[in-house]
């Protein structure tokens, strides 16, 4: 059973008004604590096959625990009268996606760049938006990394959790959020994690496939309604989406690069819209607006679909 639209809308309002809950109450923080227990398994499993199996079991157990706890909350909410059911579902769903934190992080980098404080912009970028080393990035690289992160996180932090909540309820959103967090923690090609984190990386690729394409469609529609060059964005998608390591992140990143007319580059990894101009702080603001518009269009689509089903 999916989360009702009214509860999702209330959860969005809670996120926009109050932001993230305290760490001690945040389910994603709890997921991170679980994932940090990986050291004991890595110490025992030293061969590639053993690490592959251990990683699969570790991620599967975490996903089952996350989904099971969310199922218990949703089950308990269903037993409550309607006036209490939706607020409880909304409070449980809100920490599983992140709109205010994402847009605020982008705005902080934008403001620092606009003020000419490159050191602060690099620090804020590395603290909130990317895992790469930021100390040597130029202003345009900082702006480009922020734009790319906003575009990619439209799927990871917003569209996918809400889509899985609509389709499978709180358990769906919780399982997705755990898998996505596990990929962020474990999905690195280092000697220790190359095999152990493979299950998390593959599961995240699978679960994000449809949401990433939905996010791309919402971005295209947002660009069209804003008077942007949707045709250029579509050409950029077809040309560059496969240039990134992620089979899903490249969809929204390529669309944003071409739609905004900017060149997005991660040294030695990818170049998107190579003929575009160097991004600036203003482009971060434009990317924030696109993310917000895509979210609004997605919620409108959810409501229209629900209304059509109710009339059928």
Collapsed DSSP state (helix, strand, coil) of residue 122: helix
CA-to-CA dists, residue 90 to 3, 69, 74, 162, angstroms: 9, 15, 10, 12
pLDDT band at 190 (very low <50, low <70, confident <90, very high): confident
> What mean pLDDT is reported for the chain?
94
Length of the chain: 312
Q: How far is CA 73 from the centre of its chain?
A: 23
Stretch among 28-32, 99-103, 227-231, 245-249 having the lowest mean pLDDT: 227-231
Task: Indicate the pTM of the whole model.
Answer: 0.95
pLDDT tens readout for residues 20-65: 999 999 999 999 999 999 988 887 888 889 999 999 999 999 999 9
CA–CA separation, 242 and 232 (whole Å): 17
Burial 214-244, CB ≥16 within 10 A → b, else e:
bbbbbbbbbbeeeebebebbbebbeebbeeb
pLDDT attached to residue 42: 85
CA–CA separation, 157 and 141 (whole Å): 22
Residue labelled with tokens 């959810």: 302
- Residue 211 pLDDT > 80: yes
Return all residues near 79 (Cβ < 8 A) that are at least 6 apart: none
pLDDT tens readout for residues 237-264: 999 999 999 999 999 999 999 999 999 9
């Amino acid at each position: 059973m999916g989360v009702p639209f009214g509860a999702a809308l209330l959860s969005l309002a809670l996120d926009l008004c109050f932001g993230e809950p305290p760490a001690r109450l945040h389910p994603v923080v709890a997921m991170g604590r679980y994932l940090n227990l990986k050291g004991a398994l890595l110490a025992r499993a030293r061969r590639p096959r053993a690490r592959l199996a251990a990683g699969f079991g570790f991620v599967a157990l975490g996903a089952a625990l996350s989904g099971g706890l969310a199922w218990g909350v949703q089950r308990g909410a269903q037993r409550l009268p309607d006036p209490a059911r939706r607020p409880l579902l909304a409070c449980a769903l809100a920490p599983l996606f992140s709109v205010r934190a994402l847009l605020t992080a982008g705005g902080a980098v934008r403001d620092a760049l606009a003020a000419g404080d490159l050191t602060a912009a690099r620090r804020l970028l590395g603290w909130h938006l990317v895992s790469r080393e930021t100390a040597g990035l130029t202003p345009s690289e900082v702006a480009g990394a922020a734009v790319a992160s906003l575009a990619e996180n439209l799927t990871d932090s917003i569209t996918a959790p809400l889509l899985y909540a609509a389709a499978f309820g709180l358990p769906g959103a919780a399982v997705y959020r755990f898998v996505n967090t596990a990929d962020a923690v474990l999905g690195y090609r280092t000697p220790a994690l190359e095999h152990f984190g493979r299950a998390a990386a593959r599961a995240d690729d699978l679960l994000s496939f449809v949401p990433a394409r939905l996010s791309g469609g919402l971005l295209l529609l947002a660009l069209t309604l804003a008077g942007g060059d949707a045709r250029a964005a579509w050409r950029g998608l077809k040309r560059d989406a496969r240039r990134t390591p992620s089979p899903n992140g490249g969809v929204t990143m390529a669309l944003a690069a071409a739609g905004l007319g900017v060149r997005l580059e991660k040294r030695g990894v990818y170049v998107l819209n190579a003929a575009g101009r160097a991004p600036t702080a203003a482009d971060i603001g434009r990317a924030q607006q696109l993310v917000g518009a895509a979210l609004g269009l997605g919620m409108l689509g959810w409501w229209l679909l629900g209304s059509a089903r109710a009339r059928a």
